[in-house]
Amino acid sequence: MRTLVYAHRGSSKAYAENTRAAYMQALVDGADGIECDIHLSSDGFVVCHHDPTVDRTSDSSGRVGEKTLTELKSLDFSSWKNPRIPPAYGKLREQLVTLRELVALLKDAGRPVGLAVEVKHPSPYGRQLEEAMIAELRAMGWEPETSMLGEIYVSFMSFDPGSVRYLMERIDPVHVCQLVTEVDEEWIDELVKAGESDRAGVAAVLASAMTEGVELLNSGVPQLAGPGVAYMRKHPRVVDGWLARGATFRVWTVDDPEDASYLVGRGVTQLTSNVPALIKAHLGLD
């Protein structure tokens, strides 16, 4: 089976993650697909952004879900990484995009391409996030049976087992990915800064979710398994079980060519990378 390389939040080594520039560069780099993260704005738009707040990646602060789309669009999401954006990639304050705008960019590519949508939780809007995403995709012509939107193949991912189950009730499990990882301090810090709870409470919730996510993959229901590179190396027996039952693996974040070679040798067919051009070249996929 052909190895596919997805651009992690776009080509996010070159340009700020989840920005128009990073997505457009990923298409130039020949990425087979683009991975994005989604939240809901306060006025109900599905926007591409990773963190629950804008603090880390913009010139402002506050929760994504408490800002309108207009407010989010007014922020600078690029200068922290690379303010030198080619004119063709849009202006400095045109870098945050909605899910609809990202789909339009992929359509303009004029070739088959994947779109991996990571649904971010906890969300202040609960399952309204999933419902808004599905409604938006349907409005653009997405076909749930095949999960195709023109030449775009759409798949769905989440670390939240509840979200994965919710999606699998509405979408064929072959298109749904359960993400798993080790619970680390960085992840805990991210949620604590967003005001979710105390550190111990956050750590307990995340650990429970990851245990449930592993159990869900052990059940064989989700057809896509999404462990991180470190998880692949640390839990070979668990991974072997998923491989044996025929799961398709989409592993993140694969920026080291040695990791790419190791994963392909393990039977992984989908890699998610901040440097898709480098990984494709290393694997001879150009």
Q: Which residues contact 278 (CB under 8 A, 6 or more apart)?
A: 255, 257
| pLDDT number for residue 163 | 96
Q: Side chain identity at 183, as an amino acid letter?
A: V
Marked catalytic residue, from 39, 49, 50, 121: 50
Helix (H) or strand (E) holding 104: helix 99-108
Phi, psi of 153 (to 5 degrees): -95, 120
| pLDDT number for residue 256 | 98
| pLDDT number for residue 201 | 73
Handedness of CA 205, 206, 212, 216 (dihedral sign): positive
Per the annotation, the verdict on 8 as an active-site residue is: yes
Per the annotation, the verdict on 50 as an active-site residue is: yes
The answer, yes or no, to whether the previous bond of 86 is cis (omega within 30 of 0) is no
| pLDDT number for residue 197 | 60
3-state secondary structure 37-58: EEEECCCCCEEECCCCECCCCC
CB count, 10 Å around CB of 245?
13
Range of the domain at 84: 4-282
Calculate the dihedral angle through the C-alpha atoms of 231, 24, 46, 152, rounding to the nearest 10 degrees: -80
Q: Please say whether the beta carbons of 116 and 250 come within 8 A.
A: yes
Marked catalytic residue, from 8, 39, 121, 175: 8
* CATH code for position 198: 3.20.20.190
| pLDDT number for residue 185 | 77
- Overall number of domains in the chain: 1
Q: Please say whether the beta carbons of 6 and 114 come within 8 A.
A: yes
Phi, psi of 141 (to 5 degrees): 105, 15
Instruction: Give, for all 286 residues of the chain, the pLDDT tens digit.
Output: 899 999 999 999 999 999 999 999 999 999 999 999 999 999 999 999 999 999 999 999 999 999 999 999 999 999 999 999 999 999 999 999 999 999 999 999 999 999 999 999 999 999 999 999 999 999 999 999 999 999 999 999 999 999 999 999 999 999 999 999 887 777 677 777 766 666 877 677 778 888 999 999 999 999 999 999 999 999 999 999 999 999 999 999 999 999 999 999 999 999 999 999 999 999 999 7
